[in-house]
Amino acid sequence: MEDVAPVLAALKCATTVMSAETEVSISSTYPITFSLINTHLMRVEGDSSKVFKFKSKVRTSLGERMKVESDDLTSTPPMIATMLDPRHKHLGFLTPTRRIPGTSKLPELAVAEDVSSTTDEASHTASGDERGTQAGVAVQGATLQRRTSAMVLLLGDNYSTTRTDDVEKEVDSFL
């Protein structure tokens, strides 16, 4: 049982992050999943046969359930959210062959949205309908610090913590 403890610790951490009651982000689903599959569930020198079997079964099950080999992975809402999240913008968890279709998907969606919003805007203007929405998100420092530590543990070098209050610098860092 002691041999499996590090694997279970990584799974517990991932489960805790992805099932939090506040500040949950669907954009972290695939980076965490790929990190588990490609890092925490890979065979390590010194793994016993039981640990290797356990890691292999969990890795296979996770891959099947999350459909990580799916041809339309980059078209799923969680992956689109991931591509739009500045923390994961480089898609470092994907292989280069999977990263290219992912990055080309965003301009396609932007063009489609532009066409759609232009059409909607014209119809709302014609009917005299004006709409506006605002959303606010509160961030609690203690919760954010705890989650950041878990994200660093799970994602390692693929996790970015760069923050700035300057809007222009934030936009530049996203690009």
Domain ranges of the chain: 5-168
Q: What is the pLDDT of residue 124?
A: 54
Residue 148 has pLDDT above 80, yes or no: no
Question: What would the mean pLDDT of 16-34 be, rounded to a whole number?
Answer: 86
Could you tell me which residues come within 8 angstroms of residue 28 by beta carbon, excluding any fewer than 6 positions away? 17, 18, 82, 85, 87, 88, 151
Scanning the structure block, which residue is given the tokens 């301009």? 107
**Cβ distance 73 to 79 under 8 Å?**
yes
Element (H, E) at 126: helix 96-127
Question: What would the mean pLDDT of 3-11 be, rounded to a whole number?
Answer: 89
Question: What would the mean pLDDT of 92-96 be, rounded to a whole number?
Answer: 88
Average pLDDT, the chain: 77
**Cβ distance 150 to 13 under 8 Å?**
yes
Higher pLDDT, 117 or 90: 90
User: Residue 116 is encoded by which pair of tokens?
Assistant: 């759609």
